[in-house]
Structure formats: structure tokens, C-alpha cells
Structure 1
Amino acid sequence: MRLPRTLALILAGGKGSRLGALTEKKVKPALPVAGTYRLVDVALSNLVHSHVSDVWVVQQYLPHSLNRHLANGRPWDLDRTHGGLQVLPPYEGTEDEGFAEGNADSIYRQKDLIRDFDPDLVLVLSADHLYTLNFLDVIETHLGQGADLTMVTTLVDEDPSRYGVVQTDDDGRVTRFDYKPERPEGRLVAGEMFLYDADRLLEALDLLHEQEGGLEDYGDDLVPWFVAHRTVVEHRLDGYWMDMGTLQSYWTAHLQVLDGDGIVLDDPAWPVLSAQPQRVPARIAGGAEVHRSMVAAGSIVRGTVEHSVLGPGVVVEEGATVRGSVLLDDVRVAAGVTLENVVADVGAEIRTGRHGGPGAVTLIDETGAVSATEDFDRGATLPRDV
């Protein structure tokens, strides 16, 4: 069977405001994950392993840190003469110029480029999630069902009102889609991976823009229109999936990696690829204690670290204790400091005090100050020790 020509659009322009200080100076897809990875690595790695090599990254908010990491696609073998990775920033000069008002509008503003590329299928992804998925299986579902849109779905344990809630019939056809409903019916949600027939997508974008005078988020207009007027089916993702949109989910995902309950980063058959930082190996000093943790290159541990993830260049001084925490690049924890259930932003220097505790996750910003506290959602899947 000839594989249809598939164009992947990674929507990487959102601000990620629910993550507070973590995304004040960097876009969410550039957030560190498990020490040495970046969130966008997950989408790119799944695409490359699925043999989807035409990948466009649509940018808007604070693109600089993400562009440095993308490195023209080299870490994923996407720096190619034909096809490969392209970065699409906002621009001026045509009727589709300027900044997008939402993710559906982001797609609309690329419609002329999509039409010129002339793909058979358009795969639209958010870069905000952790998961493992072979997109060739999604394409097979799409073709086998004769779909105009195939959405990847998954069951969640936490409050589904954060997501697009999906209803299906026994044949897997989507019969209803409610975007962030106040009273969700069921736990089946859209995983923000959508495979469109290219012609039907372009037709819908033009029609909706003409009817409504503009587009916003996919859940407000684009996907409901497809459900009402076209054939929409689900492709069920039964494995791990985590939306990294909140402080709790960001913290939870890291500790689940430690527990073996999260995304698998080092599967030899399906590794997460990344541009690894060039630093010396981590150093564990005599007298230091490290248990059930990940310690990235360039880090120095002289104190106690338990069930935590330390990014590159983190320093934990003698007499400091770090438990159940995620410390991003170049965080310094001074002697006498205790951290429990903390996420510390890049470059934070924590000089004194005890921060965090049971029942909530605490965010420390780059100044070393507590900037947010988020209580655990007991309906969510939390790390084992919580």
C-alpha cells in the first residue's frame, strides 16, 4: 500500500499560562522534561519513528529558546534537503499575516502553504503532551474507516472538563464533541492529535472563516463542524498520556517516570530523541545520599536527594534535602534548605528555609521565591508516594 503524503503541523505557539512562572520566559514545548529532554521532543520523536518526515512547527509565543533546541531538525534527522523540519513564525505581507487568535486560526493562517504542499493528509499535533504513539496506526484507522477526521482519544482519571470530551458509537464513529464542558459526560477525551483529509480540512477552514469572520480554537469551531458535517472517527490510545498543562501534571509526570509508571524515554525500539546538553557527568560527593532519582549531567550533589529529578547543572549543597521534587537547569539549593514536592524553575537559587510539603506542589521561580502552590487533584493519577 502506498503511504499517503502526510504533512505534520506541530502547534507550538501557545503561552501555557496555567504553568505560571515556568512559561513566563519560554514557550511550553521548550520546557525541560526528565532532566535533559524538552517537551517538543516527544511529538518529534513519535513522528520520526512513524516515518512522517514532513514536519512544520508553527510558532508564536517566545520562540527563541525553542528554536535553539530545534537545531534545524538535526537531532531527529529532519535537517533534509527535501522535506524535513520547517519553522513557521508569524509574518506580515499577505491577508493571513499577524498573530493567530487560537490553534484553529493558526492552521488557517498556513492554508496557502498547505495547499501549495498538496498533501493527502494533515496531522495536527499539540506539543504539550507525553505519550508514545505510532502514527502509521492512526493513518491505517483513518483510511480503513474512510474518515474525514480521525482524532486520537484516551481515557482520563482526572476532571475531564479540562479537555474536549468525546462520545462515540460502537463502530468508533464520533457522535458528539464537547469542548471543556462544565458537566462532562464520560471520561473519554481528545488527546489533541487530529488527522485530517487535507482537502476536507482546507474546505472547512475557508467555509468557517467566511461564515464566522474568523477562527479561534479547534474545539470552538473546527472539530464541532467536522463532527456535525463529516465522518469523524476515533483512534484509541490505550497507553500512557499526560497533558502537561498544569503545575501538578508537570510534577506528576516526572515522578511517574521515576516510578516506572510514566512515559518510557529509553525504549531501544522507540527512544525519545533530543539535543542533549554538552556537560560533564554528574558528580555525587562523598557523604551524599541519592535514592530513586534522576541526576542530569553537570549536576553536583553533596546533600540528600530522594525521589526527585535534577536537571543539568543543579547543585544540592551538603546539609540540603530534596524530596519528591523537580529541579530544572542550574538550580542551586543551599545548605540547610529542605524541599518537598517542589518544582524549581531554571536558575533558581534557594538559599534558606523549608519549602513545600504534603498535599500540594509548590512552584519556586527563578528568583528563589515561591510563586504558586497547587493542591493535588485526588481524581488524577498521582505518583505512588503521594
Structure 2
Amino acid sequence: MRKTVAIVLGGGQGSRLFPLTLHRTKPSISIGGKYRLIDIPVSNCINSDITKIYILTQFNSHSLHSHIHSTYKFDLFSDKFVKLLAAEQSFLNKDWYQGTADAVRKNIIHLEVSTKPKDLILILSGDQLYKMNFQKMIKHHIESSSKLTLAATQVTQEKASEYGLLQTNSKNEITHFIEKPQTPELQKPFLRENNTFLASMGIYIFERDTLFELLQTSKGDDFGTGIITLAIQTKKTSAYTFDGYWEDLGTIKSFYDANLKIASNKISFDLDGIYTRPRFLPPTFIENTLITRSMISDGCSILSGKIEDSVIGLRCQIDSNSSIKKSVIIGADFYDKKSTSSFGIGKNVSIERAIIDKNTTIGDNVKICGDENLKNTSQKLYSIRDGIIVIPKGTSIPENTQIP
């Protein structure tokens, strides 16, 4: 088996996920109540027996660094690792990461030391939801004698403008590629017989020396707009079609929808086999509460009320006669010694179609009700994205407040 080193890209600003990215980078955002998005690619690597993993970081990275350091610790006497490579200035590189490819380019000096010429390098995104056995993709890559293999999935025309689109021949070799075509005219040549498009998942396997050559030859800062196009023109590239569940969580709506689908078991994805930091919290206490199609994390206290189609995160404290529907309550980072928790939902509170970020206090008799017809806005206490109300981390909502 050829050695494979994984690189997870985690340094982007994540502006479409604002205000969840106000204090953290995208891969550090909570998913499924107790996990972080970064746990998805790292767990996929570990489950695929890929245990040399670099994570490239730059923007709002403290939370991500803290999570990685406290979660992924291998045997001291093995060569397994999950290492952080933060953006840094040096005598050779005085700029920060300018894009996904540039982030890897600036770390060639580290990769040259930890890899050998015949090794494979697996490039992953830190903000996607899926389970994949990368060994199957590696097998396809080796058997096809490709220099680069892209993981691809089928998407509808509605989403075609969001991804790089591929054309392949009968041998699954990539013949044409276009990055995020915005018009039907540009998309039309890539339309397949079943009225779908083959889209790049942002998951790549490179021959090590091929990657280094492309990064040094191309002036492009991103894989999609520079490296991939050059590789298709000059190297043998192939597509590995993935037919499992996969979702790019780059927007508030996609993040919100994915959480609720996990809770309601409406997608072919579960959190079994996904690793995260052990927290050793007490069991959740629930009293006189009707719970339907929801996930409740550890360390919560939930008094009489109703929870429907929702995700309740770690250490949530929910007082009596409160209703939570179609919402993601991310939870709290710690318990307050003077009170039950630094985070709390008061009495007689109604929350629907909302995301409540960490360490947030919701006063008694508050009503937060999102709606698909609401316009996007950003206020001091909340933001609205695609009809979803987002309460930022650490916000305190006074009692008797109605949002919007």
C-alpha cells in the first residue's frame, strides 16, 4: 500500500456562514450537537487508515486549534499525527494564504520533509458532510495510472453554478472542466443524459511530485481556477464518482438543513464512526418534555416543554414551558459556577426556524420565529439568512423580546 498524506484546508473566512464565523473558522462550527465540522474529514481519514494528516489554518483559528490539540492524540511511539500548519510569514513568503492552492504551495517546505516522491497527497475540504472510504478512491487512482484523481458527485441544474463541472470519457478520464459556471450557456456542454451534472467535490488525490510541479508552474491561487485546469491540460486526470450522501456546508441554509436532516434521520448519513473530543459530561436530565425527531446532546437540563425537529447541543439549559421547533441550539462551552450554565433558555420561550449559537442567554417570554419570506439582515442581536434567524455567540436576549 502506498503511503498517503492528507491535507485538510481550513483557513477560509467563511463569509457566507456569518455570523457563525464571527469568532471561529468554518471547520470549527458545531455539527450534530457535539461534533465539529473538522471531525468529518479527519474521521474519514482515520477510518480509511490514513493517519498522517495536516490541517492548514489561517482565519479565526484559535477555536479550531484548541479542538484539534485536545482531540486527536495518537500513540507517542507511532508515526501517526494530526498537525496544524498555520499561515505564517517568513523570509520566503511574506503574504498570508491567497487561496486553497496557495495555502498548500506555501507549505511545500513541510511536505517535502514528511513525504517521499512516490507518496500520494489527499487534499480535503474542512466544511463538508459525508462518509467516504478513501482507500477505494486511492485504488481507482492507482489502477487508472492517473496523476490526479478528482472525487465527483452528481448535482442538479439548480446547484450547477455552485461547483466545478466535469466532462469525462468512457474511461472516466477528465476531458473538460469549468469552475462554477453561472449561465445556462456555460453549463449546457456539461449536462449529462440523465439531466444531471458531474460536479467536483473538492477532494483530490495527487501524485506527490505532480502536485509540487503544478503548484510551482501555475500562478493560480485556487485549485479550481488554476491547478485543476492546468492538470487536465498537461497530465492524465480521472474522476472517481461518489454516490453516497455529500453536502457542502458553505451557507447558513445548508448548515441548518443538514443538522435537521441528521436529527430526523432523513438522509443516508449518520454520526457513527465520527470522532470528537471526549468531554465527560453528566447525562442529560429531561422532565415532562415531549421530544419528536430531535437529537439531545450530553450535559443538558430540559424542563417541561416541547422539542420538535431540532438539535440540542452540549450543556443546554432549557427552562419550563418552552417550545423549540426546527432549530439548532448549539449549546455552551462550560458551566457557570454561580448559575446552572452560562447559556440558558428561559421560561415560556418559543423558538422556531433558528440557530442559537454558543453561550447565549434567552430571557423569559422571548419569541424567535424565522420564516422563509423574511429578508436577509444583520442586527445587533440577530441576523437573518434565507429566513433563518441566527443569534450570535455570547448574545443576551432580554425577556419579552420578539424577533424579528
Distance in 2 (CA, whole Å) between partners of 1:103 and 1:39 is: 18
Q: In the alignment, which residue of structure 1 is the partner of 2:395?
A: none
Quick one: percent identity of the two aligned structures?
26
SS in 2 for 1:221: helix
Counterpart pick for 2:88 among 82, 86, 91: 91
Residue type at the aligned position of 1:345: D
Contact kept, 8 Å, 1:18 with 1:246, in 2: the verdict is yes
Q: In the alignment, which residue of structure 1 is the partner of 2:27?
A: 29
Contact kept, 8 Å, 1:129 with 1:244, in 2: the verdict is yes
1:238 equivalent in alignment to 2:243: yes
Q: CA deviation at 1:340?
A: 1.3
Going from structure 1 to structure 2, the CA distance change for 1:324 and 1:300 (only over 3 Å counts) comes to: same
Distance in 2 (CA, whole Å) between partners of 1:22 and 1:220 is: 27
Q: CA deviation at 1:248?
A: 0.8
Q: CA deviation at 1:243?
A: 0.6
Distance in 2 (CA, whole Å) between partners of 1:237 and 1:91 is: 35
Residue type at the aligned position of 2:91: T
SS in 2 for 1:45: helix
Q: CA deviation at 1:18?
A: 0.3
Residue type at the aligned position of 2:367: R
SS in 2 for 1:325: strand
Q: In the alignment, which residue of structure 2 is the partner of 1:327?
A: 329
Q: Which moved more, 1:338-347 or 1:254-263?
A: 254-263
Q: In the alignment, which residue of structure 2 is the partner of 1:153?
A: 152
Q: In the alignment, which residue of structure 2 is the partner of 1:298?
A: 299
How do 1:1-386 residues align onto structure 2 when only pairs under 5 Å count?
3-71=1-69, 74=72, 77=74, 81-119=78-116, 120-157=119-156, 158-183=158-183, 184=187, 185-186=190-191, 187-208=197-218, 212=219, 215-262=220-267, 264-267=269-272, 271-285=273-287, 287-302=288-303, 303-330=305-332, 331-351=343-363, 352-359=365-372, 369-375=381-387
* CA shift digits 1:326-375 (9 cap, x unpaired): 111235322232111111111222334432344369999997x2212315
SS in 2 for 1:328: strand
Q: Which moved more, 1:46-55 or 1:168-177?
A: 168-177
Q: CA deviation at 1:219?
A: 1.1
Distance in 2 (CA, whole Å) between partners of 1:365 and 1:25 is: 16
Going from structure 1 to structure 2, the CA distance change for 1:143 and 1:165 (only over 3 Å counts) comes to: same
* CA shift digits 1:136-181 (9 cap, x unpaired): 1111010111111101111234422111122222221111221111
* CA shift digits 1:25-45 (9 cap, x unpaired): 011111111111111111011
Distance in 1 (CA, whole Å) between partners of 2:57 and 2:295 is: 31
* CA shift digits 1:216-238 (9 cap, x unpaired): 22111111111111111111110
Going from structure 1 to structure 2, the CA distance change for 1:339 and 1:40 (only over 3 Å counts) comes to: same
SS in 1 for 2:358: coil
How high is the TM-score relative to the length of structure 1? Answer: 0.88
Which structure 1 segments of 5+ residues have no match? 377-386
Distance in 1 (CA, whole Å) between partners of 2:375 and 2:64 is: 25
Residue type at the aligned position of 2:246: W
Going from structure 1 to structure 2, the CA distance change for 1:266 and 1:118 (only over 3 Å counts) comes to: closer
* CA shift digits 1:40-80 (9 cap, x unpaired): 111011101111111111111122111111126536x4766
Distance in 1 (CA, whole Å) between partners of 2:279 and 2:32 is: 13
SS in 2 for 1:249: helix
Distance in 1 (CA, whole Å) between partners of 2:264 and 2:60 is: 33
Residue type at the aligned position of 1:174: I
SS in 1 for 2:255: helix
Distance in 2 (CA, whole Å) between partners of 1:102 and 1:80 is: 35
Q: How many residues align?
A: 363
Contact kept, 8 Å, 2:71 with 2:277, in 1: the verdict is no
SS in 2 for 1:324: strand
Contact kept, 8 Å, 2:71 with 2:276, in 1: the verdict is no
Q: Which moved more, 1:288-297 or 1:80-89?
A: 80-89
Contact kept, 8 Å, 1:311 with 1:328, in 2: the verdict is yes
Distance in 1 (CA, whole Å) between partners of 2:65 and 2:76 is: 13
